[in-house]
Each structure stands twice: as structure tokens, then as C-alpha cells.
Amino acid sequence: MIILGIETSCDETSAAILRNGKLLSNVIYSQLDIHKIYGGVVPEIAAREHLVKLPYVINEALSIAKVNYNDIDAIAVTYGPGLVGSLIVGICYAKGISFGLKKKIIGINHLEAHLLSPFLEYDDFNFPFLGIVVSGGHTNVYLADKFGEYRLLSETRDDAAGEAFDKVAKLLNLGYPGGPAISRAAQQGDAQKITFPQSQMKDKSYDFSFSGLKTSVLYYLKNHSEDIKNGKITINDIAASFQKTVSRTIVNKIKRICKEYKVERIALTGGVAANSYLRHELQRFGDEKGIKIYIPSMALCTDNAAMVAYVGWLKASKKIYSDFTLEAEPGLKL
Ligand code: KG4
Ligand code: ZN
């Protein structure tokens, strides 16, 4: 079975071809350079750019996979969560192919695609697992019991982890997107210089909150302008200390969850999973406890159509299809 995956939920235009669960191509066109000058994604521009680039991206994915439109069995397309205009472009394109060539269409939840992305690269990855989805819009932790059965244990009450990286990078004048910029700066900084507070929930929940940390960085900059001017503290030190705090906050929560639930495998996915400090901290915990850690390679952490095609294949195998009533759901949950 050959699946064409389409991903246009935010600012990456991506298409992938999967044959019987095996990835043949995964083409990603990033709009980064266009949005960078605005300091963040401009939804209207993102949608228009998807419209222009998607046909080329799909053609390239087909050509790399040596597959043509007629060979495709089904089209898997992200229908939420994401930017409504961007989602609509992918969905309409998928519907067009589906109608024109009489192919099945499958709506995919972007969060489920991230959550299951380790299946693409690890032969020994399997259910049940503890799945962490850390992206620009989400900081969700799930107990994934089996395909389609996910228990949400934890989410963010305000900013998502990636959002915190993006906002703090702005405060530090490191540019957009914040995650990679902070990662780079942190490599030259001393993470021990500053201790930012790790937010704790008043109740016993496993939820996250990152907006207080962002405010702490803001006040730190205000209150230590002299130290920063005379070089006692550098922006790199602040970036490194912030990155450490976010990573420890996430890993500490995972440690608490692992005390309550029996966990044998942990999957770290989503754009923030590209952060090497966080990857390292989680791996250290896994090694300590004998829990196997699964983290996709960088290209499969940030948005891509391979993960969309993969969930499409799982759904198609169970004959779970959508129809032309499929619509964009910007606030879709998992
Ligand atoms: O999964 P993703 O590509 O898109 C969403 O579904 O949101 O995640 C994008 C987020 C952005 O906030 C970006 O700053 C963050 O992932 N990110 C990183 C790194 N690379 C991307 N955050 C921390 N460290 C990184 N190396
Ligand atoms: Zn994503």
C-alpha cells in the first residue's frame, strides 16, 4: 500500500511517500526565511506560500520515491491542530487528488503524527509507551496504550515549551525561530550562572507552565543590565540557563510520572525534541532507570509529512478513512 502524506499545518510545506510502512521520500520546504523578517509565522503569508509550493513539493516526493500519482492508494493529510488557512490548503489539495484520481483520503491529527513518529526509525519501538510531544504549540505527555488509545497525563496551562523558546529568544534578541537560536547561544554559555525557578503546580497535577519562566528572564534582563553591559553575565549564559531550566522542568515531571506509572519506553517528539540538551537530560534519566528512550532524528522532530503518512498507513491498514466532509480543525485535541 502506497500512502502520500501531506503536512501544511504551520510553516513547513511537506510531502512524503510511504510504501507498506517504509519511508521512500520526505520532502520538506521550510518557509523560515520568509517569516524570519517578521519575527514569527504570519498566518496569511504561510497559507499563500503553501498554495504556491505544495504542488512542487508533492512532485518532488513522488519523483524521489519513483512513484506516480496513479500508484498512490490513499492520501493522508493533517487536518489539525494548526493554522486554519495553512490546514485548508493541504486539505483542499488532498481532496482534489482524491476526487480527480478516485483515491481514499485520511485526515490526520498532527499531534498523533508527532507522537508516533519514532515508529519510522526504530524497529524495536512499540506500545505501550510514555509519549512527550513538545512543539511550538504543545507540551503534552501521553500514556500511549495502543494505536488510537492515548491518555493525556499532562499539558501546558499557558505557553508551550517551543513557544517559551521563541519568546525568550526574542527577549534575548537572538532571532526566530527561538529554539535553534537559543541552542546555539547556549553552547557558548554557562548554564550554572543563573538559577531560574522551575514552575510547580499548586495541585498534584503533572501540568506544565512556562509563562512564569519567560517573565523571570525578562526581570533578570532588567535587574542585571549592568552585569550584562560589563560582560559579567552574557546573553549566552542566560540562554544556557534558560535551556537547562526548561529541560529539567520537563525531565523532572517525567521522573514523577514514572514513579506513578510503570513505564518501559519513552518517546520524545516534536520540534523541541531537536534540543540536544533536553535529549541528553532525558537519555541520562533513561539510562539511570533502565527505561529505553526513543527520539526521532532532527528532520523527523520538526514538522514533516513522513509522520503524517505513517499514521495514514496505520489508519488505512484498519480501513479508517475520511471523506469529503473533512475540514480543518485548528484547535483539534488528542
Ligand atoms: O513541531 P514543530 O516543528 O511545529 C509545531 O508543531 O509547533 O515545533 C516548532 C517549535 C518551535 O517553537 C521551535 O522554536 C522549536 O520547535 N524548536 C526547538 C529546537 N528546534 C526547534 N526548541 C528547542 N531547541 C531546538 N533545537
Ligand atoms: Zn508539529
Domains of the chain in start order, with CATH, are 2-115+300-317 (3.30.420.40), 126-295 (3.30.420.40)
Question: 96: CA distance to ligand 1 center in Å?
Answer: 30
Nearest CA to ligand 1 atom 7: 136
The per-residue pLDDT for 321 is 98
The per-residue pLDDT for 201 is 83
d(C-alpha 279, C-alpha 179), whole Å: 13
Q: Cβ-count burial of 22 within 10 angstroms (0-12 exposed, 13-18 middle, 19+ buried)? A: exposed
Give strand pairing partners of 268. 132
The per-residue pLDDT for 41 is 95
Average of pLDDT values for 232-247?
Answer: 98
Q: Does ligand 1 come within 6 angstroms of the Cβ of 183?
A: yes
Stronger pLDDT, 202 or 148, i.e. the higher one: 148
d(C-alpha 77, C-alpha 13), whole Å: 12
Neighbours of 318 (CB within 10 A): 9
- Element (DSSP H or E) covering residue 124: none
The per-residue pLDDT for 270 is 98
Average of pLDDT values for 294-318?
Answer: 97
Place 329 in a pLDDT band, splitting at 50, 70 and 90: very high
Average of pLDDT values for 217-243?
Answer: 97
Contact 129, 295 (CB under 8 A): no
Q: Does ligand 1 come within 6 angstroms of the Cβ of 137?
A: yes
Average of pLDDT values for 22-50?
Answer: 96
Full DSSP string of 13-47:
EEEEEEETTEEEEEEEEE-HHHHHTTTS--HHHHH
Average of pLDDT values for 299-315?
Answer: 97
d(C-alpha 238, C-alpha 182), whole Å: 9
pLDDT in tens, 189-226: 999 999 999 988 888 899 999 999 999 999 999 999 99
Question: 133: CA distance to ligand 2 center in Å?
Answer: 9
d(C-alpha 40, C-alpha 232), whole Å: 31
Question: Is pLDDT at 290 greater than 90 in this prediction?
Answer: yes
Question: Is pLDDT at 293 greater than 90 in this prediction?
Answer: yes
Average of pLDDT values for 132-140?
Answer: 97
Nearest CA to ligand 1 atom 18: 179
Amino acid at 282: L
pLDDT in tens, 84-124: 999 999 999 999 999 999 999 999 999 999 999 999 999 99
Q: Residue 90: phi, psi to the nearest 5?
A: -60, -45
Q: Does ligand 1 come within 6 angstroms of the Cβ of 274?
A: yes
